[in-house]
Amino acid sequence: MLKKALFTLLSLALIGAGLALFFPDKTATVMDYLKLKTSGKYSVAQRLEQFGTAATNRLAPHFQQAGVAFPPTAITLLAFKDSKRLELYARDPQGAWQQVQTYPIQAASGVLGPKLREGDRQVPEGIYAIESLNPNSLFHVSLRLNYPNAVDREWGLADGREKLGSDIMIHGKAKSIGCLAMGDVVAEELFALVAWVGKENVRVMIAPTDFRLAASANVPTANLPSWTEGLYQNLRTELAQYPLGK
């Protein structure tokens, strides 16, 4: 048994070294993979034991300053592609949304405009829910969005598009292919918050720009599907309930 375990460990190390040699830009991902294979998988509870206290210490002062209880009853994440910014909102005791924190998005591939098909490297645009939490992500920890949602599938059917893509996450690290990469520390905060609040009480809105700002009111849609303007109008309407941060 010991000999088999040592052989497996050596094999994984050799595989990791080979991948790191030929794909140096994937070294961090390879190392995460090896750590998972050699140390076992984490549960959500174990991840919270690891970094929950540190996340609380960082988050609680921001909630106090915003006049919102911690942990909150509901949160919304607003992501803006052009400014690479993610804003965290939570409900105050009166039920109004208050901005709690703003984070820089470390990486988000693609350009302005919705995701249309598998492999286009686009970050989706729209309103999404959190489908699940992954405590064993190759990108540290991650939140899986419910892309494609019902609206995405409806538009895909209307356009004759079948392979819409999947596996869209908010995760750690600083590289992205269609996801929002937030760095490990921020990913831990968001992961912990969603675990405490409950994924059913979390909303994620991804927009090409912040439609609340006059300078960002209009985004060119000439080369995008005809339904894009309707999508953007819906985002404008929904964003209006979230006051701009002071």
> Which of residues 25 and 179 earns the better pLDDT score?
179
- pLDDT band for 9, please (50, 70, 90 cuts): very low
Q: Is 171 a catalytic residue?
A: yes
CATH of 44-239, one of 2.40.440.10, 1.10.300.10, 3.30.70.100, 3.30.413.10: 2.40.440.10
Candidates 171, 187, 188, 202; catalytic one: 171
139-162 pLDDT, tens per residue?
A: 999 999 999 999 999 999 999 999
What gap in Å lies between CA 166 and CA 118, rounded to an integer? 7
Using 50, 70 and 90 to split pLDDT, how confident is the model at 217?
A: low
- What's the pLDDT band for 16 if we cut at 50, 70, 90? low
**Is the predicted pLDDT of residue 23 greater than 90, yes or no?**
no
Tell me what the mean pLDDT of segment 152-173 comes to. 96
What pLDDT, on a 0 to 100 scale, did the predictor assign at position 48?
Answer: 98
With contact defined as beta carbons under 8 Å apart, do 98 and 180 qualify? no
pLDDT at residue 68 above 70? yes
| Portion of the chain with pLDDT greater than 70, in percent | 82
- The stretch 113-132 carries a mean pLDDT of 97
Binned at pLDDT 50, 70 and 90, residue 107 comes out as very high
Is the per-residue pLDDT at 24 higher than 80? no
Q: Using pLDDT thresholds of 50, 70 and 90, give the confidence band for residue 38.
A: very low
Mean pLDDT on 90-101: 95
Q: Which residue has the higher pLDDT, 36 or 157?
A: 157
The one catalytic residue among 78, 179, 193, 219: 179
Lowest mean pLDDT among 2-16, 58-72, 101-115, 127-141: 2-16
For the chain, the three-class secondary structure string (H helix, E strand, C coil) is CHHHHHHHHHHHHHHHHHHHHHCHHHHHHHHHHHHHHHHCCCCHHHHHHHHHHHHHHHHHHHHHHHCCCCCCCCEEEEEECCCCEEEEEEECCCCCEEEEEEEECCECCCCCCCCCCCCCCCCCCEEEEEEEEEEEECCEEEEEECCCCHHHHHHHHHHCCCCCCCCCEEECCCCCCCCEECCHHHHHHHHHHHHHHCHHHEEEEEECCCCCCHHHCCCCCCCCCCCHHHHHHHHHHHHCCCCCCC
Domain extents in the chain: 2-39, 44-239
- What is the model's pLDDT at position 218? 73
Q: How far is CA 58 from CA 96, 108, 193, 199, in A?
A: 23, 24, 12, 21
